[in-house]
Amino acid sequence: MISRTPAKAILFGEHAVVYGEPAIAMAIDLYSHVEVSKSEEFLVDGSPPEPRYHSYIIKAYEMSGLKEKVNIKIRSHLSASSGLGSSASVTVGTISTLFALKGEWSKTEIAKTSFDVEYAVQGRASPVDTSTVTAGGFVIVSRESYGKPIWEIEKNGIKWYVSSLKNLNQEFIIANSGVRGSTGNLVQKVYNFVSKNSFGMDIIREIGKISMESIKYLEERNLEKIGELMNRNNKLLTILGVGHEKTSKIIDSVKDFSYGAKITGAGGGGSVIILPKNEEKVKEILERSKIKYYLVRPDLNGVVLIN
Ligand code: MEV
**271/214 same-domain check:** yes
Does residue 299 have an active-site annotation?
no
**249/188 same-domain check:** yes
Contact status, residue 10 vs residue 24, Cβ threshold 8 Å: yes
- Distance from the alpha carbon of residue 281 to the mean position of ligand 1, in angstroms: 30
**132/202 same-domain check:** no
Nearest CA to ligand 1 atom 2: 265
46: domain CATH number is 3.30.230.10
CA distance 24 to 33: 24
The number of the ligand 1 atom at minimal distance from the alpha carbon of 264 is: 2
**107/204 same-domain check:** no
Nearest CA among 169, 148, 131, 107 for reference residue 25: 131
Residue 218: predicted pLDDT = 96
**56/193 same-domain check:** no
Residue 140: predicted pLDDT = 97
Nearest CA among 168, 259, 169, 173 for reference residue 215: 168
The total of structural domains in the chain comes to: 2
Averaged over successive runs of 10 residues, the pLDDT of the chain (307 residues) comes to 97 95 97 97 97 96 96 90 90 98 96 96 91 98 92 92 94 96 92 95 98 96 98 98 98 98 97 98 98 97 94
**158/261 same-domain check:** no
Give the predicted TM-score (pTM) of the model.
0.96
Residue 214: predicted pLDDT = 97
**176/252 same-domain check:** yes
CA distance 177 to 271: 6
Residue 12: predicted pLDDT = 98
Of these residues, 29, 45, 129, 256, which one is catalytic?
A: 129
Domain that holds residue 110: 2-168+299-305
**107/39 same-domain check:** yes
**16/70 same-domain check:** yes
Number of other residues whose CB lies within 10 A of the CB of residue 176: 23
**242/159 same-domain check:** no
